[in-house]
Amino acid sequence: MLNFNIDLKGKTILVTGAAGFIGSNLSSKLLKDISGVTIIGLDSVNDYYDVRLKEERLKKLSVFPNFKFIKGNLADKGIIEKIFVDYRPSVVVNLAAQAGVRYSITNPDAYIESNLIGFYNILEACRNNPCVEHLVYASSSSVYGVNKKVPYSVEDQVDNPVSLYAATKKSNELLAHAYSKLYNIPSTGLRFFTVYGPAGRPDMAYFGFTNKLRKGETIEIFNYGNCKRDFTYIDDIVEGIMRVMQHAPEKVNGEDGLPLPPYKIYNIGNSNPENLLNFVEILQEELLAAGVLPSDYDFEAHKKLVPMQAGDVPVTYADTTALEEDFGFKPSTSLREGLRSFAKWYAEYYGKTK
């Protein structure tokens, strides 16, 4: 196991995407658990999905006196430069991005702006501010494309993305590697696998299915139900990020005397792919138990098996060996446990069925 070389106590941490699902949960956990930490949260609070959810997350963070929120666009270089000058963050966690595989097919501009220009602005700010001890950034399991080898290892080649979203995330890794090599910036990329949980993203299957079933609409199960997803519960994702934040890749020189890039990549996934039909069955059981749907709900009448969508992949499956060896951590929340938490939250937030 690696020894932690960054003490987060009393540090100023920049979290981009702070109103997002992962960013808000990470910020809350840091503020609760780390003594004297200050979180600078940046988010554009765009309307890609229900803004009320983002506002609710920010409202819960606002009770912490050490949380400072800045509304702004990651692609606005002036805002990014000002944040680094004004607050001098020691650790930067870049979680802001335009998410969604299918949305990238119809709205490519949003991905270039946020995921490429925005990330470039973060890298430039880190280069120009030596106060930064560690840059941690969100990548995605989508970089593996239609990789035939499973489980997916960080050692695998990832040169064949099947969506623009995946291409931008792979680009982030390449850019971070170049900046780590050129400017000795310690950076760690995290490939997240299908993150879910309470107050999550409505565009994700578990949330979108629930909304549709609640309205009596039909849910579409892609690839005729033959897809598998490595669902990873939000608390496990946050725990993984917090551990990684506390160890910046070491600055060492190679045999030629020049610095080796202080750069690492990790998968964070549950390492337990679930068939989509099994996932839907568990979801419907937990929605019934939580009172989100009536006990006599006819699920079969509201399900439709359809072909694979463009940009999707048949399976995601994380090899977390590197994460386990370096940090002694492996996500372990079962899908049923996670969906139960989501269903209970949904019933509280939107109300039980009448």
Tell me how far apart the alpha carbons of residues 117 and 67 are, in angstroms, rounded to a whole number: 26
- Positions annotated as catalytic residues are 165
Tell me how far apart the alpha carbons of residues 45 and 142 are, in angstroms, rounded to a whole number: 24
Tell me how far apart the alpha carbons of residues 218 and 215 are, in angstroms, rounded to a whole number: 9
Q: How far is CA 321 from the centre of its chain?
A: 19
- List of residues 6+ apart from 105 with CB closer than 8 A: 163, 164, 310, 311
DSSP state, 4? P
Four-point Cα dihedral 27, 31, 36, 38, nearest 10: 30
- List of residues 6+ apart from 69 with CB closer than 8 A: 18, 19, 41, 42, 43, 58, 61, 62
Pinpoint the alpha helices (H) of 189-334.
205-214, 234-245, 276-290, 321-327
Q: Judging by beta carbons within 10 Å of its beta carbon (0-12, 13-18, 19+), is residue 35 exposed, middle or buried? A: exposed
Phi, psi torsion values for 9, nearest 5 degrees: -60, 130
Q: β-pairing, 228-229 with 274-275? A: antiparallel
- Cα atoms in the Cβ-side hemisphere of radius 13 Å centred on 81: 5
